[in-house]
Amino acid sequence: MSSLEGEQDLVLRGVSKRYGHLQVLQPTELHVRSGEFLTIVGSSGSGKTTLLRMIAGFTNNTSGEILFQGRDITNVPTHKRPFNTVFQDYALFPHMTVAENIGYGPMIRRQPREAITRKVNEALSIVGLQKMIDRMPSQLSGGQKQRVALARALVCEPKVLLLDEPLSALDAEMRYQMQTFLKDLQRRVDTTFILVTHDQEEAITMSDRIAVMSAGRIEQVGDHREVYYAPKTPFVASFFGDTNLIAGTLTPDGGLQTPLGLLADVAARGPRKGKVIASLRPEAIQLSAAGRRDAGIQREGERICISARIQRTIFAGPLTRVVATCDDHPEIEFLVKVTSGDLPVSSVPGTSVRLRFSAKDLAIVPVDGDEAASAPGHLKLVAASEGAR
């Protein structure tokens, strides 16, 4: 493995955390590449903050080791690790000015005063807050405090910058601005960033790679295309954006058998056999009027077409829920994306429609017995997205 590990890489091996009987973090592997923007994303209780705090050194790991630049730093205390943290509550020292806050790290390292002043000014100009240099933290707005916290961490020139839900306390407008700002900043300072958030949209817009966590486990690590189009678990499949989930089984020759019938001849990607869930993004579905000879599921090479009769539709902003019946099967509900005010076809109940998509757009995800969100033998297209917006 060492040939794949770069000089500056951070590696976590078999790292876990237990409080008494509570296993907060399962033994976990994570390999952070030098210079990348990695986001660890998951809902509360997923273990993401624990993981970050272990890297920083605030929490001790129950087992496993943490390696940096090939060295074992598991037992190195926080103040000696070459990492710095931007805290969720910013943690600015209330009795110090902005300049003193930012200069704290260099002051501790006993750097000469001129050097400190210079670095403080540099850091302030990077975050664009030069005018605030002599203010007290209580006089700053949320967004400004955040940038000061950033400056304070960056001025120490850390090898890895850790960010703990930095945007959660900001309003939507500021959040968007900060996302862009952070992304640019990371490029400019050319430092590894590890950011923890519960917001799937943040994760997907800012990072080079994303680690998705649930219940103390990393479910998948990959770039945004991978986690969005090629999820490896049902959790990841429903975490990012909205999707349609279809329960099914893979036949010996790779076909996808669903309660609606054989959906696809050859499953494009994923495992070879067993119970699966297929994830189909709403934007991949084309909705149109049905032809007279359309019935059930028709397959033509990679093209798949489901014919159904509309029962009702529910408008949900960028997406629309369509409840329909396919032949004699019970109602199914699916999400489609519409690009104009009206559905491309009449939505009067009783209208026959076609759903067309490509087999390539089916992301096949294996499930364990009880993991299936849908009951077997009962088609349920799970429409809701689990990632927070």
Partner 1 sequence: MRSSGGEKFVYGLCAVLFALTVLVLYAPILVNALLSVVPRKAGSLHWAEAGGGAYLELFGNVDLMQSLFASVIVAVSASVLSSVIAVVMALYLDSRFAFGRRAIETLIYLPFIMPSMITGLALLIYFTALKVPLSLATVTLGHTIFVLAIAYRLTSVRLTNLSPSLREASMDLGANGWQTFRHIIFPHLQPAILSGVLFAAAISIDETLITLFLSGDRMTLPIRLWSMLRVGFTQEINALVTLVIAGTLVVALFGLRVWKKDGKLEF
**Quick one: DSSP state of residue 44?**
T
Among 45, 70, 108, 141, binds partner 1 (CB under 8 A): 108
List the interface residues with partner 1, window 12-31 (CB under 8 A). Answer: none
Locate 197 and state its tokens: 């958030």
Q: In this structure, are residues 206 and 182 in contact, taking their beta carbons and an 8 Å threshold?
A: yes
CB of 81 to partner 1, least distance (A): 8
Rg of the Cα trace of the chain?
Answer: 25
Length, in residues, of the chain: 389
Using DSSP's 3-state secondary structure scheme, residue 125 falls into: helix
CA distance 217 to 162: 19
Q: Per CB under 8 A, does 109 bind partner 1?
A: yes
CB closer to partner 1, 84 vs 244: 84
Using DSSP's 3-state secondary structure scheme, residue 146 falls into: helix
Of 47, 62, 55, which is closest to residue 31 (Cα–Cα)?
A: 55
CB closer to partner 1, 29 vs 89: 89
CB of 96 to partner 1, least distance (A): 8
Among 21, 71, 79, 292, binds partner 1 (CB under 8 A): 79
x/- letters, 140..159, toward partner 1 (CB under 8 A):
------------xx--x---
CA distance 169 to 182: 15
Q: Per CB under 8 A, does 87 bind partner 1?
A: yes
Q: Per CB under 8 A, does 115 bind partner 1?
A: no
Among 29, 72, 89, 368, binds partner 1 (CB under 8 A): 89
CB of 58 to partner 1, least distance (A): 5
Among 25, 28, 52, 105, binds partner 1 (CB under 8 A): 105
CA distance 183 to 130: 21
CB closer to partner 1, 80 vs 292: 80
Q: Which stretch binds partner 1 (CB under 8 A): 5-13, 102-110, 125-133, 206-214?
A: 102-110
Q: Is 259 left (phi over 0), alpha (psi -120 to 50) or beta?
A: alpha
List the interface residues with partner 1, window 152-191 (CB under 8 A). Answer: 152-153, 156
CB of 230 to partner 1, least distance (A): 36
Among 39, 49, 84, 374, binds partner 1 (CB under 8 A): 84
Q: Per CB under 8 A, does 112 bind partner 1?
A: no
Q: Which stretch binds partner 1 (CB under 8 A): 87-95, 174-182, 336-344, 379-387?
A: 87-95
CB closer to partner 1, 104 vs 181: 104
- Please name the amino acid found at residue 198: H
Q: 254: buried, middle or exposed (CB in 10 Å: 19+, 13-18, 0-12)? A: middle
CB closer to partner 1, 52 vs 247: 52
**Quick one: DSSP state of residue 234?**
H
Backbone angles phi, psi at 23, to 5 degrees: -90, 100
What's the CA angle centered on 270, arms 373 and 338, to 5 degrees? 65
Locate 303 and state its tokens: 């093209």
Locate 149 and state its tokens: 């916290």
Among 78, 125, 177, 288, binds partner 1 (CB under 8 A): 78
Among 3, 71, 75, 95, binds partner 1 (CB under 8 A): 95
Q: Per CB under 8 A, does 214 bind partner 1?
A: no
Q: In this structure, are residues 216 and 40 in contact, taking their beta carbons and an 8 Å threshold?
A: no
CB of 140 to partner 1, least distance (A): 16
Alpha carbon 41 to chain centroid distance? 5
**Quick one: DSSP state of residue 306?**
E
Distances from the Cα of 248 to the Cα of 194, 231, 271, 308, angstroms: 37, 16, 13, 19
List the interface residues with partner 1, window 36-75 (CB under 8 A). Answer: 56-58
CB of 146 to partner 1, least distance (A): 14
CB of 34 to partner 1, least distance (A): 20
Residues that bind partner 1 (CB under 8 A): 56-58, 77-80, 83-85, 87-89, 91, 93, 95, 104-105, 108-109, 152-153, 156
